[in-house]
């Protein structure tokens, strides 16, 4: 069949509603959620009723605002547990997190760019505005720059160009870089195999991110540490960086795929 197999439209529309909630990262009013999903409020409300019934959406009884429900969380946890690379990365990052007293993250490339799918804060008291579903800038964060360095699809190139031209529209976390600064970061990643952020975009907070590759050489996950500069030095010889480079080497299934064109 031209255009691929026929799907079920109602499920695809429901997916748009769930995407809108994920991108927002906070409870939404019906009219705002409907607009984000490209629906009329009455139509959106009908879908939300069914999504609430199966636990994929929650409605706060006091405000009436909508957010992702408990079943959505269980689906996410199920994916983390069923994917062997992700599950192993979660466990090994937990050990590094507790050893160093920092926060760890796993990021994947989602529909709207680098997306956090796992956070472990350990014993830290970090007051960072990060949650599952938060979006990272491709050019302006350590994790995002790993995607830029090792993924070469047109959607990534387009997002890099938009961010460097300061015309990106997705609400993502990160600093604004010049083309020269971004190119310098790319050279560093190519040379050293990891990406670092020194007190940017958050003063007093560093980050280090490493790639994890599948057997086909494609980037599957990005593993990151985030912490105060006293606990997370990010020089190549520093312990946190060595721990993360070892994790990347140990868990990657294959070597990076060559750059195309």
Q: In CATH, what number is assigned to the domain containing residue 65?
A: 1.10.10.10
Indicate whether 3 belongs to any domain: no
Residue 248: how many CA atoms within 13 Å on its side-chain side?
28
Asked if 21 and 66 count as a contact pair (C-beta separation under 8 A), the reply is yes
Residues 6+ apart with CB under 8 A from 42: none
Predicted pLDDT at 148: 96
The reply to whether the predicted model has a pTM over 0.85 is no
Report the C-alpha gap between 116 and 142 in whole angstroms: 13
Whole-number pLDDT of residue 71: 75
* Domain assignment of residue 4, yes or no: no
Can you tell me the distance from the alpha carbon of 114 to that of 156, in angstroms, rounded to the nearest whole number? 10
In a domain, 215, yes or no: yes
Query: Does residue 261 lie within any of the structural domains?
Result: no
Q: Does a structural domain hold residue 260?
A: no
How do residues 99-117 score in pLDDT, each as one tens digit? Answer: 999 999 999 988 778 988 8
The answer to whether residues 201 and 237 belong to one domain is yes
Give yes or no: residues 245 and 133 share one domain.
Answer: yes
Q: Is the peptide bond preceding residue 195 cis, with omega within 30 degrees of 0?
A: no
- Are residues 93 and 66 part of one domain? no
Whether residues 99 and 207 fall in one domain = yes
Residue 155 is predicted with a pLDDT of: 87
Last-in-domain residue among 17, 41, 71? 71
Residues 115 and 230 in one domain: yes
User: In terms of domains, do 157 and 212 share one?
Assistant: yes
Residue 106 forms part of a structural domain = yes
Residue 136 DSSP label: B
- What's the pLDDT tens digit per position in 173-222? 888 899 999 999 999 999 999 999 999 888 899 999 999 999 889 999 99
Q: Is residue 77 in some structural domain?
A: no
User: What are the per-10-residue average pLDDT scores of the chain (261 residues)?
Assistant: 62 89 83 94 94 92 88 69 82 94 92 85 68 86 96 88 82 86 96 94 92 92 94 96 96 74 44
Q: What is the pLDDT of residue 2?
A: 46
CA distance linking residue 145 with residue 175, whole number of Å: 12
Shared domain check, 98 and 50:
no
Q: In what order do the strands lie in the sheet with 219-228?
A: 113-120, 103-110, 219-228, 205-213, 195-198
CA distance 211 to 10: 36
Tokens of 202: 């958050």
The domain tally of the chain equals 2
Range of the domain at 18: 9-71
């Amino acid at each position: 069949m031209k255009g691929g197999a026929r799907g079920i439209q109602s499920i695809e529309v429901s997916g748009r509603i769930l995407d809108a909630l994920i991108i927002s990262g906070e409870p939404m009013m019906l009219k705002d959620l409907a607009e984000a999903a490209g629906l009329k409020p009455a139509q959106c409300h009908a879908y939300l009723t069914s999504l609430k019934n199966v636990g994929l959406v929650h409605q706060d009884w006091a405000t009436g605002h909508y957010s992702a429900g408990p079943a959505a969380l269980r689906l996410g946890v199920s994916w983390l547990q069923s994917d062997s690379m992700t599950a192993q990365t979660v466990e090994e990052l937990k050990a590094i997190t507790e050893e160093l007293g920092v926060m760890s993250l796993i990021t994947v490339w989602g529909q709207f760019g680098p997306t956090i799918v796992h956070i472990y804060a350990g014993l830290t008291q970090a007051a960072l505005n990060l949650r599952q579903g938060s979006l990272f800038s491709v050019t302006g964060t350590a994790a995002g720059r790993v995607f830029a360095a090792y993924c070469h699809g047109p959607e990534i190139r387009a997002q890099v160009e938009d961010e460097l031209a300061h015309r990106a529209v997705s609400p993502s976390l990160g600093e604004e870089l010049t083309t020269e600064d971004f190119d310098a970061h790319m050279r560093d990643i190519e040379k050293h195999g990891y990406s670092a952020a020194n007190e940017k975009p958050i003063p007093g907070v560093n980050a280090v991110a490493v790639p994890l590759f599948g057997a086909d050489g494609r980037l599957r996950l990005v593993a990151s540490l985030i912490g105060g500069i006293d606990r997370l030095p990010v020089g190549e010889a520093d312990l946190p960086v060595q721990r993360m480079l070892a994790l990347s080497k140990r868990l990657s299934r294959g070597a990076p795929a060559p750059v195309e064109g």
